[in-house]
Structure 1
Amino acid sequence: MNSDINFNKSPDGLLPAVIQDAETGKVLMLGYMNSQAYEKTLAENIVTFFSRSKKRLWTKGETSGNFLHVREMLADCDGDTLLIKATPTGPVCHTGADTCFEEVNQGKGQFLNYLQAIIHDRKVNPSDKSYTTTLFNRGVNKIAQKVGEEAVELVIEAKDNNDDLFKGEAADLLFHFLVLLEQKNMDLDDIVSVLKSRHIKQ
């Protein structure tokens, strides 16, 4: 168990657990965990709560099959609230909604931050088996050239009607662009800030 988590802070031994989609960043639901629910979640990588109405451990999805697969578990600064980043296998709310707050759970932009972290790791911890590492070894000019090549290929595919090929080329361009940003010691947020400033002026 994480030593920063203190279930004794609550008289009933229950701590609130905020469930967040690991890819979209959307808050999916709020549940409660005691130490047994936490340990079970940690062991199985599937979210289990303590049901205050049923007075027992309750694995989310045990009836519906819509489980929450754990990607990361964090405690807040006081050790009395949990943040669990998870991947849902279906609608989270019992009403059939994506979230218990009636929000549509869309937008996988959070994955770009994860991908950035992987690219950064390949730069500071090179691996002979990594394609990303070979790009960094070639230097900024070659990386920039690769971005240009991928951009041209995307333009070519845009003129045709094969959506799968177009999406593949778009993914290639985006990936190599992130590598170029890392090589230039920049973050995607730096570019987003520029876009936001332009949006405000428009």
Structure 2
Amino acid sequence: MAVDPNTLDFDKGQGLIPAVVQDADTLQVLTLAYMDRAALEETIDSGEATFFSRSRGGRWRKGETSGNRLTVVAITADCDGDALVVSVRPMGPACHLGTTSCFGDQDAPGLGRIARLERTIAERAAADPETSWTAKLLAQGPKRAAQKVGEEGVETALAGAAGPNEELASEAADLIYHLLVLLRSRQMSFQDVLDVLASRARPATHTD
């Protein structure tokens, strides 16, 4: 949690700082809340998101009654020190209406779906292999998962060469799922892949 309360400007917001709460894995914005100095310090000490409720007139720790707590991964201040981004891993819906986010009812939009699928795979790892295909694949080890990636890769290539768009999308989805299972079986995540892509990134040149 790389933020020092002493570097923040609480005075600008009459003692409160807006905090954008974001899922650390899917990057989905979950809610907008406010923190006073005490709420921020409690968040840092406890590792769970604690806010100042303007309607209640006091501090409250998210999930105290519902159990839908927010485990804090990182807190980042903006360049002026008067706003925060709080990266969390939610233990249930972030909105009191029961939705993942307070901003609409969509769950993990865009590329966030990859991280959501990774979470599902991690949860299924503990399931009965007799009832869960994911658990069965993981129990069989990386070689079996790698074999499935090879099979799905061929099917995706064939669909891309001659199949309709719907078939290509379906086969590509199967390929991505099995790739994530393979990564999980090797104690890796899709972030490891993204890190490699980031390391390869370079500014475009006129000769590209």
* TM-score by shorter chain over 0.5: yes
Q: Tell me the distance in 2 between the aligned counterparts of 1:29 and 1:156.
A: 41
Q: How many residues align?
A: 148
| Shift in alpha-carbon separation, 1:16–1:155, aligned structure 2, 3 A | same
Give the secondary structure class of the aligned counterpart of 2:44: helix
Give the secondary structure class of the aligned counterpart of 1:41: helix
Q: What is the TM-score with the length of structure 1 in the denominator?
A: 0.59
User: In the TM superposition, what are the counterparts of 1:24-173 in structure 2 within 5 Å?
Assistant: 24-106=26-108, 107-109=112-114, 154-156=149-151, 171-172=181-182
**Is this contact kept in 1: 2:180–2:189, CA < 8 A?**
no
Q: Tell me the distance in 2 between the aligned counterparts of 1:24 and 1:171.
A: 18
**Is this contact kept in 2: 1:23–1:109, CA < 8 A?**
no
Quote the residue 2:130 is aligned against.
none
Give the secondary structure class of the aligned counterpart of 1:98: coil
Quote the residue 1:144 is aligned against.
none
Unaligned ranges ≥5, structure 1: 112-149, 160-165, 194-202
**Is this contact kept in 2: 1:22–1:110, CA < 8 A?**
no
| Shift in alpha-carbon separation, 1:78–1:96, aligned structure 2, 3 A | same
Q: Tell me the distance in 2 between the aligned counterparts of 1:49 and 1:85.
A: 14
Quote the residue 1:145 is aligned against.
none
What residue identity is the alignment partner of 1:99?
Answer: S
| Shift in alpha-carbon separation, 1:168–1:63, aligned structure 2, 3 A | same
* C-alpha RMSD over aligned residues: 4.0
Quote the residue 1:7 is aligned against.
10
Q: What is the TM-score with the length of structure 2 in the denominator?
A: 0.57
Give the secondary structure class of the aligned counterpart of 2:200: coil
Q: Tell me the distance in 2 between the aligned counterparts of 1:158 and 1:167.
A: 11
**Is this contact kept in 2: 1:60–1:66, CA < 8 A?**
yes
Unaligned ranges ≥5, structure 2: 117-144, 155-175
